[in-house]
Amino acid sequence: MKRIKLVVAYDGTRYCGWQIQDNGVTIEEMLNRALTKLTGEEIRVTGASRTDSGVHAKGNIAVFDTETRIPPEKICYAVNQYLPEDIVVQSSEEAPPFYHPRKCNSLKTYEYRILNRRFPDPVGRFYSYYVHWPLDADKMAEAVSYLKGEHDFAAFCSAGSQAEDTVRKIYEASVKRDGDLIMIRLTGDGFLYNMVRIIVGTLMEAGRGLWEPAHMKEILNGRDRTRAGTKAPAKGLTLVSIRHLDQMPREERNTNDWIDYTLLRDETETGARVRMILHACRESERERMIRRSMARAFRDGAEEFLFREEGDPEWKVFRRQTRNPSDSQKI
């Protein structure tokens, strides 16, 4: 049995999102059908990002297990014969048996396109959101800059989200205008339910001059969904890429109003290790952030999580099988 990793691109216009549903055709369903026909096995894929209805992708990731003798690198060519023109498998390769696309450390990049001019574009209507009133892209760019870093994004999460933790880290956030097109790009370690589309709707308020860009910081810190803007339509959103741990920085500094810490990632003889140095932290957030960082490290495959506060020479060590702080030991 082999585990195969696919990179998938699709036009989401006529699909009810990624995940299989009873009320419409989905990307996951089409991939399952095509791979089942190709291999003669009952195939079920697992996707890295379960995009919503109407959302597009240039680089989503999916995996499946198979006993097929088709060489892994040839599967992409073969399966595309069974797929419609609006779904394309761009590459295929064998992955480690433990690889899970939603349980590994990754960065996702999304882009949202707004067509900002007097008249709509009938040709590109499914790939951008048409807005006829003037938008100031410079003000939008200033507003989005307040979202960089690690924050609690509860204000940008739709009701019905199953996320227990609403803290995420945004590595890159930009707004650029190219003629009539305004492109909003966000790269982060994860996104809440409808988070990107709500951010876009909020940025458009800044672009219309309803409030000054610095007000974005108040919306973010308020953690109140009613203070953010409306959710932008799905059709302007594209999942651009997903990058995994080996493409991420080995050292990163995280700083905002309530916490300041450094994460160090390295490899040891016993496996991956994550070390956290806490420089400063709001006392009410301290335990939650330590536990969250530890849980994420283990989720992403680390065998050890080490923690110390700045000025303390000794590390508290937590191993995958003994996560409880009472089981820690010092080195």
Q: Residue 67 corresponds to which amino acid? A: E
Return the half-sphere exposure (C-beta side, CA atoms, 13 A cut-off) of residue 240.
15
SS3 40: coil
pLDDT in tens, 182-208: 999 999 988 999 999 999 999 999 999
**Residue 328: per-residue pLDDT:** 43
Q: How far is CA 298 from the centre of its chain?
A: 18
Active site residue 52: yes
Domains and CATH numbers, the chain: 2-95 (3.30.70.580), 106-241 (3.30.70.660), 249-330 (no CATH)
Residue 259 has pLDDT above 80, yes or no: no
The answer to whether the pTM exceeds 0.85 is no
> How far lies 166's CA from each of 131, 251, 278, in Å?
30, 23, 20
Question: Which range has the worst mean pLDDT, 240-244, 263-267, 302-306, 307-311?
Answer: 263-267
pLDDT in tens, 280-322: 888 877 888 888 788 877 766 678 889 898 888 888 888 876 5
Residue 330 has pLDDT above 60, yes or no: no
The pLDDT-based confidence of 124 (bands split at 50, 70, 90) is very high
The structure tokens listed for 116 are 């900002």
Catalytic residue among 11, 22, 52, 86: 52
Return the half-sphere exposure (C-beta side, CA atoms, 13 A cut-off) of residue 227.
14
Over residues 67-93, the mean pLDDT reads 97
Q: 36, 90, 26: which is closest to 64 by C-alpha?
A: 36
- The whole-angstrom separation of Cα 293 and Cα 274 is 9
**Residue 313: per-residue pLDDT:** 84
- The whole-angstrom separation of Cα 201 and Cα 129 is 11
Residue 24 has pLDDT above 50, yes or no: yes
- The whole-angstrom separation of Cα 147 and Cα 163 is 19
Tally: H helices and E strands in the chain: 6, 16
Question: Which range has the worst mean pLDDT, 94-103, 182-191, 258-267?
Answer: 258-267
Residue 50 has pLDDT above 50, yes or no: yes
**Residue 100: per-residue pLDDT:** 83
